[in-house]
Amino acid sequence: MLFPDRALARRLEMHEAWSAREHARTQAGLYPETGASAQPAAEGYAVFCGRNSPLSQVYGWGASEPVRSADLDGIQAFFRGRGLRTRIRACPFSDPSLFHLLGERGYGVEGFMNVFARSLDGLDGDQPALSGVRVGIAPAEEARGWFERYGADGDWAEPDGVAFMTIRTAQKADTQLFLAWIDGQPAGGGALEIHDGVAALMAADTLPAYRKRGLHTLLLHARLAAATAAGCDLALVHTAPGSASQNNVLRAGFQLAYTALTLVSPA
């Protein structure tokens, strides 16, 4: 059983900082017209992946070190120059100076995200099996087809939702998309990204016609097994508070580490 503390939180938050920075780097190479970029913010990063992108915010800043007013000036200039308010991801274990400074600047809470974690030491290698279901790793074009089929298109990210999800789950370094196939058709998917011994499970979903068949659990255990084989010792999952996927996460041995906040600058 994990003990939630600042050391654990820092590992999880620095994984998120790496993930967002790597996404920006990959997006900039594939779609330079989006202006994707990342700027160091002390130990973390200010990340811009487009004005509509959910990744355009600050990660890892204040995860273990005091923050400075001058650093926030630079962060705000980074986003202001791109036509955005400043959004900062923070966890309860962040250095107290982060919350003091953001309070002085009038930042408010915009959202919450539960962060679940579990140790991979001693993970049972046995995986559940479902008759007629095949699980495999999708190359980029197959991943793109999955997100088109699932309906991820739209202008909610840059250059569009399908391209965003393909980068996030199949084209970014050290990331793979697992698909569950039934009768030759993809029915469910979930991604795994690995960095510095931490494995993040993300983008899990199942087509409506195939839900309540155990695909979510099957894909979860397949990714945990792959993470263990890759030498990871820690896994994490994000869920919105109260979401249905929390049940599967808890049954898989995860525990709530903390609830992360999104803090946004005044208009």
**Does residue 125 sit within a domain?**
no
pLDDT digits 0-9 by tens, 172-197: 999 999 999 999 999 999 999 999 99
Judge if 110 and 137 occupy the same domain: no
- Do 89 and 172 fall into the same domain? no
Residues 137 and 98 in one domain: no
Distance of CA 79 to the CA centre of its chain: 21
Instruction: Please give the residue range of the domain that contains residue 64.
Output: 6-114+260-264
Q: Which residue has the tokens 């202001």?
A: 80
* Interatomic CA distance for residues 223 and 70, integer angstroms: 41
Q: Are residues 85 and 161 in the same domain?
A: no
Residue 124 lies in a domain: no
Mean pLDDT for all residues in the chain: 95
In whole angstroms, what separates CA 89 from the centre of its chain? Answer: 12
What does the alpha-carbon distance between residue 108 and residue 114 come to, in Å, rounded to a whole number?
Answer: 18
Residue 126 predicted with pLDDT over 90: no
Q: How far is CA 171 from CA 29, 53, 139, 185, 215, in A?
A: 11, 17, 9, 22, 23
- CATH of residue 233's domain is 3.40.630.30
Residues 84 and 15 in one domain: yes
Question: Is residue 128 included in any domain, yes or no?
Answer: no
Looking at the fold, whether 148 and 181 belong to one and the same domain comes out as yes
Report the Cα 202 to chain-centroid distance in Å: 6
DSSP letters along 14-61, please? HHHHHHHHHHHHHHHHH-GGG--EEEEETTEEEEES-TT-TT-SEEST
Query: What global pTM score does this model have?
Result: 0.95
53 plus 11 within the same structural domain: yes
Are 31 and 88 within one domain?
Answer: yes
At 150-160, the pLDDT tens digits run 999 999 999 99
**Per-residue confidence (pLDDT) for residue 76, from 0 to 100:** 98
The whole-number pLDDT of residue 237 equals: 97
Q: Give the CA-trace dihedral at 40, 42, 44, 48, to 10 degrees.
A: -30
Residue 123: phi and psi, rounded to 5, are -65, 130
Q: Are 97 and 66 in contact (CB under 8 A)?
A: yes
Residue 73 lies in a domain: yes
1 belongs to a structural domain: no
Opening angle at CA 133, ends 128 and 136, nearest 5 = 90
How many domains is the chain partitioned into structurally? 2
Q: Sheet holding 255-264: strands in order across?
A: 37-41, 44-48, 58-59, 87-90, 255-264, 108-119, 234-239, 198-206, 185-195, 175-182, 133-138
- What is residue 234's predicted lDDT score, i.e. its pLDDT? 97
126 occurs within a structural domain:
no
In this structure, the answer to whether residues 180 and 240 fall within a common structural domain is yes
* H helix or E strand, kind and range, residue 136: strand 133-138
Beta-strand relationship, 255-264 and 108-119: antiparallel
Share above pLDDT 70 across residues of the chain, in percent, rounded to a whole number: 99
Residue 124 has pLDDT above 70, yes or no: no
172 and 248 share a domain? Answer: yes
pLDDT digits (tens, 9 = 90+) for 109-120: 999 999 999 999
Could you give phi then psi for residue 184, rounded to 5 degrees? Answer: 80, 5
**Amino acid (one-letter) located at 173:** A
91 part of a folded domain: yes
| Domain match, 252 and 147 both | yes
In the three-class reduction of DSSP (H, G, I as helix; E, B as strand; rest coil), residue 183 is classed as coil
146 with 59, same domain? no
